[in-house]
Amino acid sequence: MAKDVLCEVNSCKYWANGNKCNATSIYVVSNRGQQARNSEETDCKTFEPKI
């Protein structure tokens, strides 16, 4: 399991200083069916906008 999860999306409510993600779990899906070939073919479903 990853020790640190990095994220540059500072508009997400889970974003923390140092580009860290402070969500308790991360959910990533393929946006091209089940077989993603690169990171551009994936989406983070954990994202929630900051209010």
Mean pLDDT over residues 20-34, rounded? 94
Q: Structurally, how many domains does the chain consist of?
A: 1
* Higher pLDDT pick, 3 / 43: 43
The sign of the torsion formed by the CA atoms of 7, 8, 11, 17 equals: positive
Does residue 1 surpass a pLDDT of 90? no
**Residue 34's domain spans which residues?**
1-51
- Residues 42-48: contacts with CB within 8 Å, 24+ apart? 44/7, 44/9, 46/12, 46/14, 46/21, 47/9, 47/12, 47/14, 48/12, 48/13, 48/14
Confidence of residue 49 (pLDDT cuts 50, 70, 90): very high
pTM for this model (two decimals): 0.82
Does residue 6 surpass a pLDDT of 90? yes
Does residue 2 surpass a pLDDT of 90? no
